[in-house]
């Protein structure tokens, strides 16, 4: 009789557990759906719609740091730099605590935080963040380019040029690095002298 009673308790427990697990799986599936919808909106530059979708996704799956990062990115593209830091901070918290289920590289967060600082007139403060991003992913050209741009903004043309060349070693056709290098070389050479004819 005792075994029968224990078996019934296990069955009741499982019956209660299965719907909870199913609901959790459904939330993750729904969260993936809303992430995909957000990505579709980003592809056509409908950033407010993307943010709305990403926020729905993040509410359903709050351990997926890439969603918080995507919300921040969508704000930043619209130059709403005051809106993105809480989402980047949440992504950073998830990644550093080991709770992130999306495997977001921490370098992405450092690079995006650096981008915000450059865009808000704080290129000097961006430099250490780009150092961290480069350290985390030394083969990624993006933070190297933006570090070059930060030095350019600080009028340290030699360092900016050196980093542009490094980007071009990584990606020989990096359009932004080619453009910035041309601008820097023009700055270094100064105004062209007139022939006096």
At 149-166, the pLDDT tens digits run 999 999 999 999 999 999
By CB neighbour count within 10 A (0-12 exposed, 13-18 middle, 19+ buried), where does 103 fall?
A: exposed
Return left, alpha or beta for 67; rule: phi > 0 is left, psi -120 to 50 is alpha, else beta.
alpha
pTM for the complete prediction? Answer: 0.78
- Going by pLDDT thresholds of 50, 70 and 90, the confidence category of residue 188 is confident
Mean pLDDT of 123-128: 98
Closest to 108 in 3D by CA, of 128, 145, 133: 133
Comparing CA positions, the residue from 43, 36, 98, 41 lying closest to residue 67 is 36
Q: What is the pLDDT of residue 167?
A: 97
Which carries the bigger pLDDT value, residue 195 or residue 185? 185
Q: 157: Cβ–Cβ under 8 A, 6 or more apart, which residues?
A: 151, 184, 187, 188
DSSP for residue 101 = S
Distance CA 107, CA 150 (A): 17
pLDDT at position 38 over 80: yes
Under 8 Å between Cβ of 147 and 134: yes
Residues 174-193, mean pLDDT to the nearest whole number = 86
Terminal Cα-to-Cα distance of the chain (whole angstroms):
113
pLDDT at 24: 46
CB 142 within 8 A of CB 111: yes
Mean pLDDT, the chain, as a whole number? 87
In whole angstroms, how far apart are CA 129 and each of 147, 162, 197?
A: 9, 18, 51
Cα(102)–Cα(92) distance, integer angstroms: 12
User: Mean of the pLDDT values across residues 108-115?
Assistant: 96
């Amino acid at each position: 009789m005792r075994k029968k009673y224990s078996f019934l308790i296990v069955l009741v427990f499982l019956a209660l557990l299965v719907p909870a697990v199913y609901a959790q799986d459904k939330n993750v599936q729904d969260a993936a759906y809303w992430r995909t919808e957000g990505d579709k909106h980003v592809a056509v530059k409908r950033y407010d719609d993307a943010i709305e979708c990403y926020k729905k996704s993040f509410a359903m799956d709050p351990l997926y740091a890439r969603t918080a990062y995507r919300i921040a990115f969508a704000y930043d593209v619209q130059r709403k730099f005051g809106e993105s830091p809480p989402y980047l901070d949440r992504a950073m918290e998830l990644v550093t605590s080991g709770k992130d289920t999306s495997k977001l590289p921490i370098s992405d967060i450092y690079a995006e935080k650096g981008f915000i600082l450059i865009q808000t007139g704080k290129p000097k403060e961006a430099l250490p963040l780009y150092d961290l991003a480069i350290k985390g992913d030394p083969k990624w050209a993006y933070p190297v380019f933006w570090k070059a741009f930060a030095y350019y903004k600080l009028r340290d043309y030699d360092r900016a040029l050196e980093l542009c060349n490094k980007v071009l070693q990584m990606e020989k056709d990096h359009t932004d690095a080619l453009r910035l290098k041309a601008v820097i070389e023009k700055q270094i050479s100064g105004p062209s002298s007139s022939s006096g004819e």
